[in-house]
Chain A
Amino acid sequence: MSGKEYRTITDVKGPLVFLNKTEPVAFGEIVQLRLSDGTMKNGQVLDTSDDQVIVQVFEGTASVDRQTGVKFMGDVFKLPVSTDLIGRILDGAGRPRDGGPEIVADEMADIIGAAINPYSRESPEAFIQTGISAIDACTSLVRGQKLPIFSAAGLPHNDIALQIARQAKLVGSDDDFVVVFCAMGITAEEYNFFVHDLERTGALENACLFVNLADDPAVERLITPRLALTAAEYLAFEHDYHVLVIYTDMTNYCESLRQIGAAREEVPGRRGYPGYMYTDLAMLYERAGLVKGKKGSITQFPILTMPGDDITHPIPDLSGYITEGQIVISRELHQKGIYPPINVLPSLSRLMNAGIGPDKTREDHKSVSDQLYAAYAQGRELRGLVAIVGEDALNERDLQLLKFSDIFENQFLRQGRDEDRSIGEGTLDYAWELLSNIDTKYLVRLDQKWIDKYHPTEKKE
């Protein structure tokens, strides 16, 4: 902390400050800048050599001049962690935002986070019931999974995230989740919406919030999720908590990343985003899971808004390549007035197979889910055909599938914001009931033994 203060800034470009320095500065070291008017700013070393040091300034470089004093703090970024984090609201750089006291550190944790040894991971396989049929039946979530919500501007992704946070539970267990919430560049209105809901349900006392809003420094967003995940790791792996991390909006995070890349004049990858964005995102998303010998877990729900509703945009694309599936929100369903407007067809849970079946959910779950998909996918495709040739041209099978696609959307998907459906009766039995609108001979994905056992009209008691 006694480091020298340098006044050797040569260049300032976007959020970056370049200085000639004297003594060696470590890569990743934390930096403090003191402006002529006494304002303090924080930053981090991005590049260091004998001749030049490049610092990214979290609060932006407004008002920085050549007289600004730069001090290297001799350490990389660390977050004070302790169980006192629970129930607290911190800002995007980890300082109290709720008027409460500083966090008394039990330990100082490096926020970059080391990679979990793949050999030390434990396979996630405990089914989490969210009470939302579309998710529980078709993209089942398990504890320790990272499952993002791919949404777009103006869609109710926040409602869905909150509904999941409220209702998520392990069937037959009363282990509760602690929520770590991380806001990156969202509006104050959205933020208030989250906080009020968490307050309303009493979840706030069991949550830890890291908040960087739309009018907070953009570059700071690059550390906010790292702070949140550092807190989550501490709670999960040092104190056995099951942590649900919700972070929103990843799109703002990626914009900040792009800004830094541009200021460094790096060769951009696709659409101006840095070539290392995949690796950078992986260093966040991979901080989920279960590890051997620890009771706790980290389950991640990143929310991102797809620019132009385009799932091939680099932000959703690179995310989908890293996360263990995705829940895709559809504007079309939303416009039809269906809540939650989840399009199950492009949605996926890669860990579903491990989390469902006998002893976990129910023996027929996989079969039912496959059949729902197949029938709905075919039914939707037929809508296009009907628009051209009319229903008359359809054979019996196609007619039934076509009808089913409406039933699926209006009854199975549609549910209340506070409606919490159980996996057995609320979701799977309901699915059977709806599937019975189709002749059994067309239900080729269902094993005969499940038809005999669960089909509402054809079961053999």
Chain B
Amino acid sequence: MSEENGVIYRISGPVVTAMGISPRMYEVVRVGDEGLMGEVIELHGDQSVIQVYEETSGISPGEPVIRTGQTLSVQLGPGLLTKIYDGIQRPLPELEQTMGVFITRGVDADGLDLEKIWDFAATAKAGDEVSPGAVLGTVQETETIEHRVMVPPGTSGVIKSIKSGEFNVTQTVCTLEDGTEIAMMQKWPVRTPRPFVQKYAPDTPLITGQRILDFLFPLAKGGTAGIPGPFGSGKTVTQQQLAKWSDAQIVVYIGCGERGNEMTEVLTEFPHLIDPHTGKALMNRTTMIANTSNMPVAAREASVYTGITIAEYFRDMGYDVALMADSTSRWAEAMREISSRLEEMPGEEGYPAYLSSRLAEFYERAGRVETLSGDDGSISVIGAVSPPGGDISEPVSQGTLRIVKVFWGLDAGLARQRHFPAINWLNSYSLYPPSLNQWYRDNISNDFPEVRTEISALLQVESELQEIVQLVGSDALPVDQQLTLEVARMIREFFLQQNAFHDVDTYSDLKLQYTMAKAILSFQEESKKALAGGAMLEDVVNVPARSDLMRGRFAEGYAEKIEGLLDDMNKQISATMEAN
């Protein structure tokens, strides 16, 4: 990796052209007198085209460009969790220390704290034959997460010596017979997927505590989902809800080209939130990447790769990882911006022709796998999409929908009515239920899939009836159809609507979701009987216990109370028959 020096020939925004060096594609180079970090993205005759991860104003042609021999990589090892990074894995707190509150340029920072001492507990022993991915030992990285130190890809042999004790991430913890020294830290090039043995079909749901997601449009562990929606429809809130409540063991949250304050919010809120599965702070399992809209676009382009590589690293330890990218459209726009500076032939709406293959490659890094060590790990990827004008016929939405298996379609109309989550239940879909149904039958209830089907069917029927209501008004419908409308309204207002900002309503356990759905069906059943027995619809739907049952979900301990509330409602509904 001999160092080579060249000079800048041209600067156009984040794209710099250099002459006099012959680097490899995707090699990291240092640009200008300040040594700004850049990555080679095109070789063109004797010119090397570089995208620069920092502001380029004030840089002149003739300044130096220096090869590093490295491709854009991340540092992997203990110390990733609870951290917040920019798009190229520079820890933001360290940038604050060196630059102050504004991000200036020309500062390097290691992704991992190289000084910090960790307590390494060896689990392998001398004489063991180890191959890539084998666990050598563990470190209690945070209160809840045990970090598994692995043999890096490409390395194998027989352990000559290994010792437990206190080490920093660059010190050797294990030596192989052939003299190879292994430290806790690995480096991995972000644009190359980390290896695994094979992919499995997902069979377990990623439980999110969000009723409309878990019940109607579930995501599997190892699955992929897209959330397109216009601004203000709830992409970010949904992503944050998933980061908070989904039952993944590790969460990687990428704020890609979005608002600074949203990242601040995550940073201030997460340390105080308790993970319902572990009872400990949620921050323990989280890594964040924040490359906001006003930070350099080239680093925004890199941010999703940095994120997914970190996710793969934890997957390789056998963890279930969930990765949220908000928003993939901003990533695509970064590609577009760079591509147009390269004067590449544009595809649709100015996006580069390779847009859809880049999207596919990214989502392909999700999945449930057999890891190199024979363990089972997964990455679920949830990408927000921000279609211009909310119109999903555009390239990024379409490119995403061709790949992902779950579509949570956000709807401006619902958001305007403050029906949250504003996920349209008529056009959203999940392709996972057939592979998850057995899990629901075994773990929640044997009739879970049937209850889901009934609930969706009611919503379908409602939408057909609504068309008639628009023409003649609801009073003109026969009473059984009016009841169907009431039941569907109950599904919408009591079940689908869920307030992310309400302490209790924000999370619904899957068993409770099932009980709530059954309660709705039971309301329908009892009401039908009462109506057949001569009760008035008006009386049936207005029994006070129904509104107690519905409002009750906002109170602590609802799971214990719901059966009682349901009994009361059913009794009151029966009583409406006598009233007549």
CB distance from B81 to the nearest CB of A (A): 16
Cα A148 to Cα B365 in complex, Å, equals 39
| The residue from B56, B57, B337, B554 contacting A279, defined by CB atoms under 8 A apart | B337
Which residues 44-93 in A have Cβ within 8 Å of B in the complex? 46-50, 75-76
A–B pairs, 22, beta carbons within 8 Å = A24-B63, A28-B56, A47-B12, A76-B57, A117-B95, A117-B103, A123-B261, A123-B268, A237-B101, A275-B337, A276-B333, A276-B337, A279-B293, A279-B297, A313-B389, A317-B388, A321-B386, A351-B261, A389-B472, A393-B473, A394-B475, A444-B550
A contact residues, total (Cβ < 8 Å): 80
Is residue B143 contacting chain A, with contact meaning CB distance below 8 A? no
CB distance from A222 to the nearest CB of B (A): 14
Q: Mark B40-75, 1 if CB is under 8 A from A, else 0.
A: 000000000000000111111111000000000000
Is residue A1 contacting chain B, with contact meaning CB distance below 8 A? no
Q: Are B58 and A26 in contact (CB under 8 A)?
A: yes
**Would A441 and B547 be within 8 Å (CB), given that A114-B103, A120-B101, A320-B231 are in contact?**
yes
Q: Are B58 and A27 in contact (CB under 8 A)?
A: yes
Cα A444 to Cα B553 in complex, Å, equals 13
Cα A28 to Cα B388 in complex, Å, equals 30
- The 8 A-B residue pairs whose C-beta atoms are closest, nearest first, are A393-B473, A28-B57, A312-B389, A49-B10, A282-B293, A119-B92, A120-B101, A114-B102
| The residue from A283, A312, A373, A394 contacting B473, defined by CB atoms under 8 A apart | A394
Q: Are A26 and B57 in contact (CB under 8 A)?
A: yes
- CB nearest to B12 among chain A residues: A47
**Would A114 and B232 be within 8 Å (CB), given that A120-B96, A121-B261 are in contact?**
no
* B412 proximity list for chain A (CB < 8 A): 346
Which residues 402-419 in B have Cβ within 8 Å of A in the complex? 412, 416-418
Q: Are A275 and B340 in contact (CB under 8 A)?
A: yes
* A202-210, A242-250, A263-271 - interface stretch: A263-271
Cα A282 to Cα B250 in complex, Å, equals 31
Q: Are B346 and A27 in contact (CB under 8 A)?
A: no
Is residue A447 contacting chain B, with contact meaning CB distance below 8 A? yes
Cα A144 to Cα B474 in complex, Å, equals 47
Q: Are A325 and B10 in contact (CB under 8 A)?
A: no
* B390 proximity list for chain A (CB < 8 A): 312
* A370 proximity list for chain B (CB < 8 A): 418
Is residue A345 contacting chain B, with contact meaning CB distance below 8 A? yes
**Would A115 and B350 be within 8 Å (CB), given that A50-B61, A441-B542 are in contact?**
no
* A27 proximity list for chain B (CB < 8 A): 11-13, 56-60
* B267 proximity list for chain A (CB < 8 A): 118-119
Q: Are A24 and B101 in contact (CB under 8 A)?
A: no
Cα A395 to Cα B469 in complex, Å, equals 12
Is residue B580 contacting chain A, with contact meaning CB distance below 8 A? no
CB distance from A320 to the nearest CB of B (A): 4
Q: A27-B60, A119-B93, A279-B257 are in contact. List 15 more A-B contacts (CB 8 A).
A: A24-B61, A26-B60, A27-B59, A115-B292, A115-B294, A119-B92, A121-B261, A275-B333, A293-B101, A312-B389, A313-B389, A317-B231, A322-B259, A377-B416, A444-B550
Is residue B476 contacting chain A, with contact meaning CB distance below 8 A? yes
* A284-292, A295-303, A330-338 - interface stretch: A284-292
Is residue A374 contacting chain B, with contact meaning CB distance below 8 A? yes
- CB nearest to A373 among chain B residues: B418
- CB nearest to B16 among chain A residues: A27
* B10 proximity list for chain A (CB < 8 A): 47-50
* B487 proximity list for chain A (CB < 8 A): none
**Would A115 and B102 be within 8 Å (CB), given that A317-B388, A441-B547 are in contact?**
yes
CB distance from B387 to the nearest CB of A (A): 9
**Would A76 and B58 be within 8 Å (CB), given that A50-B10, A118-B260 are in contact?**
yes
Cα A117 to Cα B96 in complex, Å, equals 7
Q: Mark A111-131, 1 if CB is under 8 A from B, else 0.
A: 011111111111110000000
- CB nearest to B494 among chain A residues: A444
CB distance from B348 to the nearest CB of A (A): 11
| The residue from A279, A291, A448 contacting B551, defined by CB atoms under 8 A apart | A448
Which residues 219-251 in B have Cβ within 8 Å of A in the complex? 230-232
* B268 proximity list for chain A (CB < 8 A): 123
* B470 proximity list for chain A (CB < 8 A): 385, 388
Cα A316 to Cα B104 in complex, Å, equals 30
Cα A27 to Cα B36 in complex, Å, equals 14
Cα A124 to Cα B268 in complex, Å, equals 12
* B336 proximity list for chain A (CB < 8 A): 269, 275
Q: Are A324 and B259 in contact (CB under 8 A)?
A: yes
Q: Are A270 and B418 in contact (CB under 8 A)?
A: no
Cα A371 to Cα B494 in complex, Å, equals 15
Is residue B34 contacting chain A, with contact meaning CB distance below 8 A? no
| The residue from A114, A286, A395 contacting B293, defined by CB atoms under 8 A apart | A286
Is residue A25 contacting chain B, with contact meaning CB distance below 8 A? yes
